[in-house]
Amino acid sequence: MLWKFDEATSLYLQLLGKNPRSEECLVNLVTIGMARKDHDAVQKFSEQLLTLRPHSQAALEGLATCAFQRNDYEAAAQLCGKLVESGPEHFERWFNLGVAEQKRGEHAEAAKAYAEAVRIRPDAKQAHVNLGIVRQESGELKEARESYERALHIAPDQGDVIYNLASVLEQQGEKEEAERLYVKLLARNPEWEDAWFRLGYLRLERGEHRGAVEAFQACVRKRAQWPEAQLNLGLAYWNLSDRDNAAKAFETVIAADPSCIDALRGLAALAVEREDLDKALDLQARLIEVGERTPELFYNTGLLLQKSGQVEDAVRLYQEALAERPNFPEALLNLGHALKSQGKPDEAREFWRQALEQKPELAAGYFGQ
């Protein structure tokens, strides 16, 4: 009782020497071991206690503590399960069972345990938070939202819970409310870089490009080597017609990851807009090298080759596009034009015919005159 653990332990061991079946001494030694975080002692005396009393609550709690300490969540869950059977109105036991089940990936079982914990103690904010997390990870978004909202009702300033609630709202499609929560969170904690990223993404998605630039700039100021943030920053600048800053952002991504398809695609599109055909062709060739095989890429590269007079290569790229998407009307049409320029009018007419079958309105744009 005076926290003189060495002296107490010595006395209890002397008593055990005289009476090896003293449950009270073993219980107190387990308690001292837990207070000192001496897990070896806790394990030893708990096992001795179980040989005397197989359902000893103190022994089960001691062994559960040791199981948690060595990250053996399977054993922890079994021990906590036995404890809640004998103490079904014990909050800590249900909570610990929830933690053990959550750690071993059994989210449904964890949710049941946490639900019992909050039934017993409705004001236990961490139990509500953990219940929200396992429900969210199980895809039970409505229930997860309820748990997070209850946790925030108990303690409104929990930043991690606000963030989790915002992510649930995003998943539910309530993006305006999610954005409001990210703004609220960042007003209190402007260093929360993941919140800046989500805020930027939502702004970019709804076309608020200046706000997106602000958010993604905050991200890269905090972590310069953040490819996803740099990529989205480039997209936001591009949508503002700020091609120079867009190119810088895409190039930063390429410097870190030369095979980033999205950044190469962005730089290629910028080169096309600037009518820098050589650079555009080089970038699109790199896209093909790194494994990009979309029909649009082959088609766009074919167009560039055709404009630069490389008709034979253009024909090959149009054919690649059609191999990926046989009914690609624009590729059929332009393949026909390329073949005509090579002196193959019969083949050209066949591809024009197929193009017009797929998309008759092409006739007005290409053959109206």
For 189-218, the pLDDT digits (tens) are 999 999 999 999 999 999 999 999 999 999
Q: How far is CA 194 from CA 22, 85, 129, 200, 222, in A?
A: 55, 41, 19, 10, 10
**Distance (Å, rounded) from C-alpha 211 to C-alpha 213?**
5
Residue 224: band (very low, low, confident or very high) from pLDDT cuts 50, 70, 90: confident
Residue in 170, 83, 159, 97 with CA at minimum distance from that of residue 134: 97
Q: Is the pLDDT of residue 76 over 90?
A: yes
Say if 6 falls within a structural domain: no
**Domain final residue, candidates 289, 312, 340:** 289
For residues 363 and 334, state if they share a domain.
yes
Cβ neighbours of residue 281 closer than 8 Å, sequence gap 6 or more: 301, 304, 305, 308
Say if 175 falls within a structural domain: no
Say if 113 falls within a structural domain: no
For residues 50 and 70, state if they share a domain.
yes
Say if 167 falls within a structural domain: no
Q: How far is CA 362 from CA 66, 212, 357, in A?
A: 74, 37, 10
Q: How many structural domains is the chain composed of? A: 4
For residues 284 and 297, state if they share a domain.
no
Average pLDDT (160-183) is 97
Average pLDDT (250-272) is 91
User: Are 56 and 47 contacting, i.e. CB atoms less than 8 angstroms apart?
Assistant: no
For residues 304 and 275, state if they share a domain.
no
Q: Is the pLDDT of residue 41 over 60?
A: yes
Mean pLDDT for the chain overall: 92
**Distance (Å, rounded) from C-alpha 166 to C-alpha 56?**
44
For residues 320 and 365, state if they share a domain.
yes
Say if 160 falls within a structural domain: no
Domain holding 330: CATH number? 1.25.40.10
**Distance (Å, rounded) from C-alpha 35 to C-alpha 324?**
67
Say if 174 falls within a structural domain: no
Coil vs helix vs strand at 89: coil
Lowest-confidence segment of 72-81, 95-104, 330-339 by average pLDDT? 330-339
**Distance (Å, rounded) from C-alpha 172 to C-alpha 168?**
6
Residue in 152, 64, 66, 50 with CA at minimum distance from that of residue 101: 64
Residue 281: band (very low, low, confident or very high) from pLDDT cuts 50, 70, 90: confident
The predicted structure's pLDDT at residue 368: 45
The predicted structure's pLDDT at residue 301: 85
How many other C-beta atoms lie within 10 A of the C-beta of residue 328? 23
Structure tokens at 25: 């001494």
Say if 114 falls within a structural domain: no
Average pLDDT (348-367) is 81
Domain that holds residue 322: 293-369
Say if 308 falls within a structural domain: yes
Query: What percent of the residues of the chain are helix, what percent strand, and what percent coil, each to the nearest 5?
Result: 80, 0, 20
Q: Is the pLDDT of residue 45 over 90?
A: yes
For residues 222 and 284, state if they share a domain.
yes
Sign of CA dihedral 152, 158, 162, 163: negative
For residues 70 and 146, state if they share a domain.
no
For residues 77 and 132, state if they share a domain.
no
For residues 255 and 202, state if they share a domain.
yes
The predicted structure's pLDDT at residue 215: 98
Which residue is it, tokens 């943030």?
A: 229
Residue in 102, 97, 16 with CA at minimum distance from that of residue 60: 97
User: Are 79 and 60 contacting, i.e. CB atoms less than 8 angstroms apart?
Assistant: yes
For residues 197 and 285, state if they share a domain.
yes
Residue 365: band (very low, low, confident or very high) from pLDDT cuts 50, 70, 90: low
